[in-house]
Structure 1
Amino acid sequence: MTTGIQVRGLRKDFPVRDKGLFGPRGTKRAVDGLDLDIPAGRITGLLGLNGAGKTTTIKILATLLRPSAGTVRVDGLDTVADARAVRRRINLIAGGERMVYHRMTGAENLWYFGQLYDVPRAELRTRIAELLDLVGLTDAADTAVERYSRGMTQRLAIARGLINRPAYLLLDEPTLGLDAPIARDLRKVVAELAAAGTGVLLTSHYLTEVEELCGHVYVISEGRHLAQGSPAELKAATGSHRTVRLTVTNPGPATAAVADRFGARREPRPDGGELLVLSHPDDVAGPLAAAIVGAGGSIGGLEIAEASLEDAILRLADGEARALAGVAG
């Protein structure tokens, strides 16, 4: 049996009306021919700009939506034909969505969902206590969720998503609205789950979170595949490099020659100095500063900004937009 989640040729169309309630009926394609692999024991990222199709894809994987075409298999089980069996192997944590019952207490919610997932009763009470402690809600266990803050509700949703010890965990903006300490604890838990063999699919607008956790990332746009690879590979492939910003307080012909040799952009400053800006895959800050000093220049400031995954995604999306514009033209 093939293990992991395998997505092949996934497509999802939604019915829409072009002109109001009584306009002609059409379709909007939210996911368009995606292939994904989410193996056990690894955290895989799914990234893209708003409207890229990430949440729709995750809901299909979670059996909440049926695909219009293509297949999704979880350890060889089809998410449509074998939906009940698939649900026992997965769970979903989604930030910003109502995933618990507000008129029940925190403990009652976990008891209810634990029974839905057939967690043995002898184990369930201990499991509930462990999860409430994990998300910092032990003291609120017997409080109705309608009295929880947004952050507390999201923490309870995290505990609900872990109640059945899922083999595959689908995370759609899981830290949205969480305080920094709780978000950090969740990242730690997710990393530990993956190390123990859980397969994880993560979408997040906090890209530092993705860089910290994900060994492999898929980037999509308008439901289509754009690129894949490790965060470092995506940054390198899109030319997203660390940026050096060096201020020269007494620029002259000699320092200008150094800037040209390194390929740095020169920007005049109001105080008569000059800002040198250079993006490069290697660590050139030290050699550039040394060369400027060697040319008689004085350094007024030095900043180094590491390449970001956000830069890479924006470059990918911009490149696709340009390509589509070229085709349309």
Structure 2
Amino acid sequence: MIETQDLRKEFRDGRTTKVAVDGLTLAIPPGRVTGLLGLNGAGKTTTIKILATLLRPTSGTVRVDELDPLRDPKAVRHRINLIAGGERMVYARMTGRENLWYFGQLYDVPRAVLGPRIDELLALVGLTGAAGTVVERYSRGMAQRLSIARGLINDPAYLLLDEPTLGLDAPIARDLRRVVARLAAEGKGVLLTSHYLAEVEELCGHVYVIGDGRHLTEGSPAELTARTGGHRTVRVTVPGASPEVEAAVTAFAARAGTVAGLDRAGDGALVVSVSHPGEIAGPLTMAIVGAGGTLAGLEVTEPSLEDAILALNDAAWLVTA
């Protein structure tokens, strides 16, 4: 697996020192998509560039299947590849096939292997029909799919994905997620950073959350959401609600230790919103019906990973402030 221990990266500008990564210990095993999350400036891209041998760490260690990137960078580069969203990582004046042939030669892929592999990768990302078209005629989604193929040209054991679906249309992003899930199922280790947290929840079996370059917490998306005390929101629509119903809702929320939101829909129906970490949909509806109300709609929104990330960063800020 890829492992880091007490990883640290400092950038110096005259007398000023900026700590981008501060003591990170991570593990990216084969056969799993591992997430690396944090707000802008948390140190995600710097960490990935260190793992990709594009930056040297100030201190700490990195091992890729026991290989040291500082002592044997060429061997490490043959075991990894990097795909970053929103960047030009292929050549616009070459065709899709020419790009893959060029990068395959950079990785010393034997010619007898390279030709069939290019065909397989073009089929994997849905570009067989566009293989002979120059990339400057590709759409953004096609170029990003070609970047995925380029990132697999050396058949890496580990794939580092830094915002791979950034700016892509939803159907293209969905197709790329399917490719990533398939690669992990086939045994590749994947490290993913993404601001699209639904994407992380869908793909990642384990997630590291960092802030200001430091480790905040880790676990599965579900574990992180539960650990931060995320609240589910119950939204109930009550047509023709009486003052007694409103009073019953307010009293119920007070007993539960929360506050109910009371709004009116366009047709005059009362819309009740209550957030709470527990299962309160049943007791809330019983309180409404007990006060003489009827339900026209009930919606329960589960706590999200986004809520968890924001809560973790807020807690970290309070500790360091």
* Counterpart in the other structure of 1:323: 319
- Offset of residue 30 of structure 1: 0.9
CA deviation digits over 1:177-224, x for unaligned, max 9? 333233222222222222222111100111001001111100011111
* Counterpart in the other structure of 1:285: 281
Q: Among all aligned residue pairs of Structure 1 and Structure 2, give the percentage whose two residues are the same amino acid.
A: 71
* Counterpart in the other structure of 1:39: 29
Q: Is this contact kept in 2: 1:243–1:277, CA < 8 A?
A: yes
Superposition map of 1:134-153 within 5 A = 134-153=124-143
Pick aligned residue for 2:224 from 234, 245, 255: 234
* Counterpart in the other structure of 1:48: 38
* Counterpart in the other structure of 2:307: 311
Superposition map of 1:51-200 within 5 A = 51-200=41-190
- Offset of residue 255 of structure 1: 4.4
Higher mean displacement: 30-39 or 266-275 = 266-275
Aligned residue identity for 2:50: I
Q: Secondary structure at the match of 2:261?
A: strand
Q: Counterparts of 1:144 and 1:123 in 2: how far apart (Å)?
A: 23
2:9 is the counterpart of 1:12: yes
Unaligned runs of 5+ in 1: 17-23
Unaligned runs of 5+ in 2: none
CA deviation digits over 1:207-253, x for unaligned, max 9? 00100111110001111111111111111111113211224422414
Q: Counterparts of 1:47 and 1:251 in 2: how far apart (Å)?
A: 46
> Are the structure 2 counterparts of residues 29 and 181 from structure 1 closer, same or farther at C-alpha, using a change threshold of 3 Å?
same
Aligned residue identity for 2:48: I
Q: Counterparts of 1:255 and 1:280 in 2: how far apart (Å)?
A: 14
Aligned residue identity for 1:13: E
- Offset of residue 153 of structure 1: 1.6
Aligned residue identity for 2:290: G
Q: Counterparts of 1:224 and 1:152 in 2: how far apart (Å)?
A: 36
CA deviation digits over 1:41-91, x for unaligned, max 9? 111100000111101100110111111111110010011111111111111
* Counterpart in the other structure of 1:21: none
- Work out the number of aligned pairs and report it: 315
Q: Counterparts of 1:189 and 1:195 in 2: how far apart (Å)?
A: 10
Q: Counterparts of 1:267 and 1:96 in 2: how far apart (Å)?
A: 41
CA deviation digits over 1:76-125, x for unaligned, max 9? 00111111111111111110112112222111110011122222222222
> Are the structure 2 counterparts of residues 213 and 270 from structure 1 closer, same or farther at C-alpha, using a change threshold of 3 Å?
closer
Q: Counterparts of 1:115 and 1:173 in 2: how far apart (Å)?
A: 26
Normalised by the length of structure 1, the TM-score is 0.89
Q: Counterparts of 2:94 and 2:122 in 1: how far apart (Å)?
A: 15
Q: Counterparts of 2:28 and 2:288 in 1: how far apart (Å)?
A: 49
> Are the structure 2 counterparts of residues 305 and 25 from structure 1 closer, same or farther at C-alpha, using a change threshold of 3 Å?
same
Higher mean displacement: 227-236 or 249-258 = 249-258
CA deviation digits over 1:5-30, x for unaligned, max 9? 110111111232xxxxxxx4422111
2:255 is the counterpart of 1:265: no
Aligned residue identity for 1:267: G
CA deviation digits over 1:234-276, x for unaligned, max 9? 1111111321122442241444443434445233435786543
* Counterpart in the other structure of 1:250: 242
Q: Counterparts of 1:161 and 1:219 in 2: how far apart (Å)?
A: 25
Q: Secondary structure at the match of 2:154?
A: coil
Q: Is this contact kept in 1: 2:260–2:274, CA < 8 A?
A: no
Q: Counterparts of 1:322 and 1:145 in 2: how far apart (Å)?
A: 48
Normalised by the length of structure 2, the TM-score is 0.91
Q: Counterparts of 2:172 and 2:262 in 1: how far apart (Å)?
A: 45
Q: Secondary structure at the match of 1:78?
A: coil
Aligned residue identity for 1:89: R
Q: Counterparts of 1:149 and 1:25 in 2: how far apart (Å)?
A: 45
Q: Counterparts of 2:159 and 2:93 in 1: how far apart (Å)?
A: 26
* Counterpart in the other structure of 1:19: none
Q: Secondary structure at the match of 2:155?
A: coil
Q: Secondary structure at the match of 2:90?
A: coil
Q: Counterparts of 1:273 and 1:105 in 2: how far apart (Å)?
A: 59
